[in-house]
Copies of this chain bind each other. A is one copy, B any other.
Amino acid sequence: MIPARSPDPGLDAPERCRLVSEVLSRVGDKWSVLVVMTLGDRPRRFSELKRAIGSISQRMLTLTLRGLERDGLVARVVTPSIPPRVDYELTPLGKSLRGPVEALGRWAMAHQGEVQASRAAFDASSGTGGLA
Interface residues of A (CB under 8 A from B): 4-8, 16, 19-21, 23-25, 27-30, 33-34, 69-72, 93, 96-97, 99-101, 103-119, 122-123
Q: Tell me how many chains of this kind the complex includes.
A: 2
Cβ of A111: which chain B residues have Cβ within 8 Å of it?
A: 4, 23, 93, 96-97
Cβ of A104: which chain B residues have Cβ within 8 Å of it?
A: 24, 27, 100-101, 103-104
**Complex alpha-carbon distance, A119 and B118, angstroms:** 40
Given A101-B104, A107-B97; A5-B113 close (CB under 8 Å): yes
Cβ of A97: which chain B residues have Cβ within 8 Å of it?
A: 107, 111
Known contacts A70-B118, A99-B103, then 14 further A-B pairs from the complex at CB < 8 Å, ordered by chain A residue? A4-B111, A5-B113, A16-B112, A19-B108, A20-B105, A20-B108, A24-B105, A24-B108, A28-B33, A70-B119, A70-B123, A72-B115, A93-B118, A99-B107
